[in-house]
């Protein structure tokens, strides 16, 4: 409108609000339709989840804020956030939630959605690669300990080949494959 076009002076409000009409109002329904999302709308933002979380102090978005963002429709921000991947999955938030919102499970849903759109942090992809290539995440490296205990250097009977085949056929295989 004309008035806005002619605006030369400083803005009336010195904030840059998030335009609700640009958000994805269907996002909450998308999460709700997933296996653990049915109680999502019950959230009343008490922030019990954040109080319960052992690592939220280092998060930019706290657990209750992530749930808020899902409800408001901030799809992009939630799915590309590091926090959903940093979650320890200790389930304390979910255990304590007074409204039975499955907070941790919802973060799993978010991770799955993010993975579908290849929004996976490099470190996670790296882990997946290790898993694919070696069939295990933690290899025996410090064999002096085994030596001290009179054990043979390699773990006897350890075979990861079968597991590698299985994981190749799963979504993990697709994720790593997509990166190559």
Applying CB under 8 A, which residues contact another protein? 1, 12-13, 15-21, 25, 28, 41-45, 47, 64-65, 68-69, 71-72
Closer by beta carbon to another protein, 8 or else 19:
19
Find the shortest distance in angstroms from Cβ 60 to another protein. Answer: 10
- Whether 59 and 16 have beta carbons less than 8 Å apart is answered as no
Closer by beta carbon to another protein, 50 or else 104:
50
Closer by beta carbon to another protein, 28 or else 131:
28
Element (H, E) at 29: helix 27-32
Per DSSP, the residues of 96-112 read H-TT---HHHHHHHHHH
The b/e string for 125-164 (b: 16+ C-beta within 10 A; e otherwise) is beebeebbeebeeeeeeeeeeeeeeeeeeeeeeeeeeeeb
Find the shortest distance in angstroms from Cβ 56 to another protein. Answer: 13
Three-class SS state of 146: helix
Nearest to 171 by CA among 82, 111, 121: 111
CA 74 – CA 60 distance, rounded (Å): 15
Closer by beta carbon to another protein, 28 or else 111:
28
Find the shortest distance in angstroms from Cβ 98 to another protein. Answer: 11
Find the shortest distance in angstroms from Cβ 117 to another protein. Answer: 23
Closer by beta carbon to another protein, 16 or else 122:
16
Find the shortest distance in angstroms from Cβ 19 to another protein. Answer: 5
Closer by beta carbon to another protein, 15 or else 169:
15
Find the shortest distance in angstroms from Cβ 20 to another protein. Answer: 5
- Whether 169 and 176 have beta carbons less than 8 Å apart is answered as no
């Amino acid at each position: 409108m004309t008035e806005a076009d002619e605006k030369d002076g400083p803005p009336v409000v010195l904030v840059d609000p998030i335009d609700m009409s640009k958000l994805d109002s269907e996002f909450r329904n998308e999460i709700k339709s997933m296996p653990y999302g049915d109680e999502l709308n019950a959230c009343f933002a008490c922030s019990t989840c954040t109080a319960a979380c052992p690592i939220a102090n280092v998060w930019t978005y706290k657990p209750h804020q992530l749930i808020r963002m899902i409800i408001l429709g901030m799809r992009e921000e939630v799915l590309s956030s590091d926090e959903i991947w940093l979650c320890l999955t200790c389930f304390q938030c979910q255990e304590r939630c007074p409204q039975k919102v499955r907070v941790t499970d919802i973060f799993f849903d978010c991770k799955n959605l993010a993975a579908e759109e290849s929004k996976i942090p490099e470190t996670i992809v790296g882990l997946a690669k290790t898993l694919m290539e070696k069939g295990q995440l933690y290899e025996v490296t410090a064999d002096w300990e085994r030596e001290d205990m009179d054990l043979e250097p390699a773990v006897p009977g350890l075979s990861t080949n079968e597991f590698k085949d299985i994981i190749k056929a799963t979504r993990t295989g697709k994720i790593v494959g997509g990166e190559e």
